[in-house]
């Protein structure tokens, strides 16, 4: 297909851009009002600095927010993404605009909504108002407020008792440098519903820096089973920010997986709030920075109700002069008795110049809980390396084998074959 | 008789301490050589130095494999040439299955010899055959390499690797240690099954026990970093009877 893209990178990050976006989307006034309120919070919230505990190891001084522009029109055409994957639905978002959106009619018939947030705000305002921005409010931080002012995106709603068997896939891309995008996904699963959503951020290489400030809000209602996967494969010129929060209701089971392979500098907050008794959450993370990539993951296992279970495993491999931060908190509220919470972060350094910081935290305000955390940072064991080389593997092959083995227990826990395969390929590319 | 490996006047330091002090030894093709020595004589140093462990610093001498100097080669290149070390303490590699590892190793060696990678069905067949020789359950192939293996399983896994890689020089570093009599018999049968006119076997051991099962052609005695005497299989029995002190007295080793 001929691609003739209208390039209108006109407006910088500003109040005009907020108004322009709202106009372009022709959204209800209450959405516009929300955006403007968020913009005000953004404006009066100071930029985080390394003086702030959360940003102590991630320096934003080189981030020039005024160098990015929003597209004020949807790109003309963009090659639709083909896929042989079995899936229930698919959406493609290009430079911040939804260019393709489809949902299996048999799924739609059961009342499942998969639409743009704008459409949802028009057609189902009561749903959007009930959930949007409640997990990631403006107070969450300066970037959350900015995203609340400028984001657009997708809404997935799975009604009571509806099981969506095949995953829904969302693909976000940026086509050029200098762009700012604010992707957002809102997922609501009602009682006894189930669904899987796989979201991927991807871009080809470009020269100038671009910015992505993403927001994900996932609500798993009573006895719901939701699975959410986020794969970040931006090119090396993207500043990536992500606020991804999960609310897990009574007896619900939520699994989330975050994979970080791309971007220049990435700061991701992944939080699970266990709000109903019997809620269960698995949080998996895999990251592999190389060269001068810098990844910062902050996680929260927020146990607000009794008898909940959360299990977090984040594993990272670092090459070259890359840098990673993992800071994880298990927070057990008063009254959240019989909490079972586990947190593990393991880091493998492939170079002397790479650095990983691992900061586990526990805050326990109940007296009948089981909590544990473990963290490790270390180089490849030279004896393991020698053992493999003594069998004829080159140093590179031996390292690759050790890295594959390091990630294996985590990869094994991903029940999605397509994700697993692409992940193994991506790790191979990182190793070569 | 044709030689496969020639070690001349080998000096090796470990952490700046000289352990091998001019060791010379020649291995013949198709023969089994046993090197026996007391604790601290340099047995493990010899095996690690031959395999190319970076912490074993060669300060003098030469090691020739079919006339090629191997001392400048890395551990991987030596393995690709056909030098194999069965480790006394094999490392476990979590997350890497035995089968996956063996296939990578076999294909690395083949690649170095300009051979095509082995097809998966051929590899499977070969693996199953060799595992049945070693009386290993097929489930072994799916287990993580040495992870949670018993002492006997680890040694059998080493011999399995040797069988799969078909080396030209096989060095067995105290393979008998920690094995009960049944495991020792199985491992020895595995080694015997691999004997062929092309392969030299070097058994490094403290005790002559394993030599009851794998009959050596030659026995060499290692004391204080040197081979002090060599002989036929009868030498092992004499050592067993008289002890290493007898050797020390016979071949007074200068300090």
CB-based contact B112 A392, cutoff 8 Å: yes
- At B70-85, the pLDDT tens digits run 999 999 999 999 999 9
Work out the mean pLDDT of chain A and round it to a whole number. 94
Q: B148 at the A interface (CB within 8 A)?
A: no
Please indicate, yes or no, if residue B29 is contained in any of the structural domains. yes
Total domain count for chain B? 1
| Residue B241 placed within a domain | yes
State the CATH number of the domain containing residue B26. 3.40.50.300
The SS3 call for residue B122 is helix
Q: Roughly what angle, to the nearest 10 degrees, separates helices A15-25 and A29-44?
A: 160
Q: Is B49 contained in some domain?
A: yes
Structural domain boundaries enclosing B203: 3-92+168-250
ipTM of this complex > 0.90? yes
Please, are residues B180 and B188 in contact by the beta-carbon 8 Å criterion? no
* Position with higher pLDDT, A416 vs A321: A321
Q: Could you write out the DSSP letters of every residue in A291-302?
A: TT-EEEEEEEEE
Task: Using the predicted structure, report yes or no on whether residue B132 has a pLDDT greater than 50.
Answer: yes
Percentage of chain A lying above the pLDDT 90 cut: 88
Neighbouring C-alpha atoms within 13 Å toward the C-beta of A425: 7
Is residue B16 in a domain? yes
Assigned domain for B234 exists: yes
Higher pLDDT, B255 or B29: B29
A-B contacts (CB, under 8 Å) = 76
For residues A338 and A158, what is the distance between their CA atoms, to the nearest angstrom? 30
pLDDT of A72: 63
Q: Is the pLDDT of residue A78 over 70?
A: no
Say whether pLDDT at B255 is over 60. no
Report residue A91's pLDDT band, with 50, 70 and 90 as the boundaries.
very high
Q: Residue B147: what are its φ and ψ, rounded to 5°?
A: -75, 115
Query: Does residue A7 carry a pLDDT above 50?
Result: no
Any domain includes B17: yes
List Cα–Cα distances, A166 to A88, A224, A225, A418, B13, in angstroms: 5, 16, 13, 12, 62
Beta-carbon separation of B79 and A391 below 8 A? yes
For the record, the structure tokens of B139 come out as 């489930």
Q: Do B79 and A394 touch (CB under 8 A)?
A: no
Residue B134 domain-assigned (yes or no): no
Q: Give the model's pLDDT for residue A1.
A: 36
Looking at residue A6, what is its pLDDT? 39
The model's confidence at residue B250, banded by pLDDT at 50, 70 and 90, is: confident
Flag whether B149 is in a domain: no
Of the candidates B51, B96, B104, the beta carbon closest to that of A390 is on B51
The CA distances from residue B134 to A330, A412, B129, B205, B254, in Å, are 49, 30, 9, 21, 44
Could you tell me the pLDDT band of residue A263, with boundaries at 50, 70 and 90?
very high
pLDDT digits (tens, 9 = 90+) for A204-260: 999 999 999 999 999 999 999 999 999 999 999 999 999 999 999 999 999 999 999
For residues A177 and A208, the answer to whether their CB atoms sit within 8 Å is yes
Comparison of pLDDT for A111 and A2, the residue scoring more: A111
Q: Is the pLDDT of residue B57 over 80?
A: yes
**Residue A420 in contact with partner chain B when CB distance is under 8 A:** no
Which of B48, B104, B145, B160 to substitute to test the interface with A, most A CBs within 10 Å? B104
Quickly state the pLDDT bin for B97 (edges 50, 70, 90): very high
- Residues A324-380 have pLDDT tens digits of 999 999 999 999 999 999 999 999 999 999 999 999 999 999 999 999 999 999 999
CA–CA distance, B19 with B226 (Å, rounded to integer): 9
Question: What's the pLDDT tens digit per position in B222-231?
Answer: 999 999 999 9
pLDDT at A103: 96
């Amino acid at each position: 297909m001929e691609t003739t893209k209208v390039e209108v990178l006109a407006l910088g990050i500003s109040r005009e851009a907020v108004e322009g976006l709202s106009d372009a989307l022709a959204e209800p006034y209450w959405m516009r009002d929300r955006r403007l309120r968020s913009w005000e919070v953004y404006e009066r919230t100071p930029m985080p600095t390394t003086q702030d505990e959360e940003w102590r190891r991630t320096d934003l001084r080189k981030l020039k927010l005024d160098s990015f522009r929003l597209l004020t029109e949807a790109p003309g055409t963009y090659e639709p993404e083909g896929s042989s994957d079995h899936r229930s639905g698919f959406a493609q978002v290009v430079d911040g605009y939804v260019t393709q959106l489809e949902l299996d009619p048999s799924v739609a018939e059961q009342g499942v909504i998969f639409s743009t947030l704008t459409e949802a705000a028009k057609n189902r305002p009561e749903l959007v108002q009930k959930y949007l921005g409640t997990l990631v409010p403006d107070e969450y931080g300066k970037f959350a407020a900015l995203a609340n002012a400028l984001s657009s995106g997708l809404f997935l709603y799975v009604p009571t008792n509806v099981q969506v068997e095949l995953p829904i896939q969302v693909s976000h891309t940026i086509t050029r440098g200098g762009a700012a995008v604010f992707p957002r996904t809102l997922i609501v699963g009602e009682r006894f519903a189930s669904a899987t959503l796989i979201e991927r951020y991807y871009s080809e290489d470009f020269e100038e820096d671009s910015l992505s400030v993403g927001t994900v809000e996932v609500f798993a209602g009573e006895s719901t089973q939701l699975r959410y996967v986020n794969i970040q494969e931006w090119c090396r010129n993207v500043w990536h920010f992500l606020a991804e929060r999960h609310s897990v209701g009574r007896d619900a089971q939520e699994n989330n997986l975050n994979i970080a392979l791309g971007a220049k500098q990435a700061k991701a907050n992944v939080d699970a709030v266990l709000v109903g008794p019997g809620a269960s959450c698995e949080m998996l993370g895999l990251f592999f920075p190389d060269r001068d990539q810098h990844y910062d993951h902050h996680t929260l296992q927020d146990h607000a109700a009794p008898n909940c279970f959360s299990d977090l495993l984040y594993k990272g491999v670092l090459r070259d002069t890359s840098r990673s931060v993992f800071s994880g908190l298990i927070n057990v509220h008063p009254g959240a008795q019989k909490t079972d919470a586990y947190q593990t972060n393991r880091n493998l350094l492939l170079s002397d110049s790479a650095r990983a910081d691992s900061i586990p935290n526990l805050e326990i305000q109940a007296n009948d809980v089981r909590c544990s955390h473990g963290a490790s940072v270390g180089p490849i064991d030279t004896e393991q390396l020698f053992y493999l080389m003594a069998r004829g593997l080159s140093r590179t092959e031996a390292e690759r084998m050790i890295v594959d083995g390091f990630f294996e227990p985590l990869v094994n826990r991903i029940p999605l074959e397509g994700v697993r395969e692409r992940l193994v390929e991506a790790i191979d590319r990182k190793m070569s | 008789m044709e030689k496969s490996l020639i070690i001349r006047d080998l000096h090796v330091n470990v952490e700046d301490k000289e352990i091998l002090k001019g060791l010379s030894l020649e291995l013949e093709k198709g023969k089994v050589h046993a090197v026996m020595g007391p604790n601290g004589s340099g047995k493990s140093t010899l095996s690690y130095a031959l395999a190319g462990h970076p912490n074993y610093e060669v300060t003098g001498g030469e090691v020739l494999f079919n006339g090629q100097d191997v001392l400048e080669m890395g551990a991987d290149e030596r393995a690709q040439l056909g030098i194999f070390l069965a480790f006394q303490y094999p490392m476990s590699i979590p997350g890497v299955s035995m089968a996956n590892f063996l296939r990578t190793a076999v294909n690395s060696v083949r690649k170095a010899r300009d051979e095509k990678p082995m097809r998966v069905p051929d590899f499977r067949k070969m693996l199953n055959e060799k595992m049945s020789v070693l009386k290993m359950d097929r489930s072994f192939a799916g287990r993580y390499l040495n992870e949670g293996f018993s002492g006997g399983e680890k040694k059998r896994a080493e011999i399995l690797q040797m069988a799969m890689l078909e080396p030209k020089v096989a060095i067995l570093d105290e393979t008998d240690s920690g094995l009960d009599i049944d495991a020792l018999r199985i491992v020895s049968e595995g080694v015997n099954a691999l004997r062929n006119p092309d392969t030299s076997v070097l058994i490094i051991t403290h005790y002559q026990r394993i030599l009851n099962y794998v009959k050596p052609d030659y026995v060499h005695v290692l004391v204080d970093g040197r081979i002090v005497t060599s002989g036929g299989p009868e030498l092992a029995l004499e050592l067993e009877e008289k002890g290493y002190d007898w050797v020390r007295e016979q071949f007074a080793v200068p300090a």
